Amino acid sequence: MTQPPKGARRSYGAEAAPYAHPSPTTTLTRARSAQYLFPSPTTTLTRARSAPYLFLLPAAVLFALFFALPIGYALWLSFHKVEIKGLGLGKGAKSEVWAGLENYTSALTDSELAASALRVLGYGAIVVPVMLGLALFFALLLDSERVRARSFARLAIFLPYAVPGVIAAVLWGFLYLPDVSPFHFLLGKLGLPEPDLMDGGPLYLAMSNIAIWGGTGFNMIVIYTALRSLPAEVYEAATLDGCSELQIALRIKIPMVVPSLVLTFFFSIIATLQVFNEPMTLKPLTNGIPSTWSPLMKVYNDAFTGGNIHAASATAVVLALATFVLSFALLRISNRRTTQGAGR
């Protein structure tokens, strides 16, 4: 600490060493060469060597501050707890002590968390297949020359992407209210029972609908782009062989866009497990949504309503790990399927 000049210079050298190996002379030339019109090859090289690190610097600093540091801190918090001494009054009465796996065991045995995880799994089981199925279906339709109104439909289906999740939930939330809902209106006219769309079983459909509405367009564009990039010769050959459009779609197009499907699948799962905005927004409109409906709401609730940041951090870590494990497991399964399919 008390030897700044020497220490500072050494650390600078150590930092520069791995990539630039600058001898004092090249550093000097580099500094001067800026004014020279014809720099020597060596100085250009030196400059080019440090340049990528300078270009990456802003991203690296931001990553360290807003990704690495918070993740590390969350991990640290998850292994600590607050210990209160005596009556817990005054400064120093509360201290953070090592908690081992305590927070994790209580997170994993928490019935509220388990319930919310189950809810979200059920929700995901509706959202992911329906959303991606529709996205693929619409992408194939967009890619078919015989279908009309394509540019209109492409834009219309993509439109929800520009609508924030909170606002999407507001719009649909009102459309679910019995006094406003056209569904209730229709059911009433037909003399059918009018279920409460924001409670019990229908709530899953209502919630899924918002996610499907919001996500289909983007995934459709992703798949559609992959379809557009396939070489036209393949289709020509298939058409000459007398394949129908449906056969081309099923036998050629879908297998060829499998990589895009796998990726959209992967990211849809991650997004689904982290659902927060929509249930949070629907909550004021109904009594059917508890404040721990999704795991993320549970984390939020623990941290900011319950004030237990240590438990919340452990839950968040568990959630992150579960997301990774689940999405990678599903990715592997789908990969194995595809390779098997290709082998046949």
Partner 1 sequence: MTGLASPPLRTTVNGDGRAAGTTPGASQGRPRPRRTALLPTAALVLGALYCLLPVAWVVVAATKPDNELFSTFTFLPGDGIADNVTDLSAYRDGIYWRWMLNSVFYAGLGAVLSTVVSALAGYALAIYRFRGREAFFNVMLTGVLMPPVILAIPQYLLMAEADLTDSYASVLLPLILSPYGVYLGRIYAEAAIPMELVEAGRMDGAGEWRIFRRIAVPMMAPGLVTIFLFQFVAIWNNFLLPFIMLGDDEKFPMTVGLFTLLKQGASQPSLYTLVITGALLAIAPLIALFLVIQRFWSLDLLSGAVKS
Q: Please, which of residues 185-214 interact with partner 1 by CB under 8 A?
A: 185, 213
- 179 versus 193: smaller Cβ distance to partner 1: 179
For the segment 24-43, give every residue that binds partner 1 (CB under 8 A): 34, 36-39
Residues linked to residue 82 through DSSP beta bridges, in sequence order:
96
- 12 versus 53: smaller Cβ distance to partner 1: 53
Using rule CB under 8 A, residue 243 touches partner 1: no
Using rule CB under 8 A, residue 136 touches partner 1: no
Helical spans, DSSP H, in the chain: 4-20, 24-33, 41-63, 69-78, 102-108, 111-142, 150-158, 165-176, 182-190, 200-228, 232-240, 245-247, 254-256, 258-273, 277-282, 295-300, 309-343
Q: Which of 82, 113, 76 is nearest to 96 (CA)?
A: 82
Q: Are strands 94-98 and 80-84 parallel, antiparallel or unpaired?
A: antiparallel
Using rule CB under 8 A, residue 267 touches partner 1: yes
Tell me how far apart the alpha carbons of residues 5 and 8 are, in angstroms, rounded to a whole number: 5
- Could you tell me how many residues of this chain bind partner 1 (CB under 8 A)? 118
As measured in angstroms, the least distance from the Cβ of 117 to partner 1 is: 13
Residue type, 279: P
Structure token digits, residue 300: 């939020």
Structure token digits, residue 20: 């630039």
For the segment 283-342, give every residue that binds partner 1 (CB under 8 A): 284-285, 296, 299-300, 303-304, 309, 312-313, 316-317, 319-320, 323-324, 327
For the segment 160-189, give every residue that binds partner 1 (CB under 8 A): 160-168, 170-172, 174-175, 177, 179-182, 185
Using rule CB under 8 A, residue 260 touches partner 1: yes
Using rule CB under 8 A, residue 12 touches partner 1: no
- 7 versus 17: smaller Cβ distance to partner 1: 17
Coil, strand or helix: which one is 45?
helix
For tokens 């689940």, the residue is 326
For the segment 39-78, give every residue that binds partner 1 (CB under 8 A): 39, 44, 47-49, 51-53, 55-56, 58-60, 62-63, 65-67, 69-71, 73-74, 77
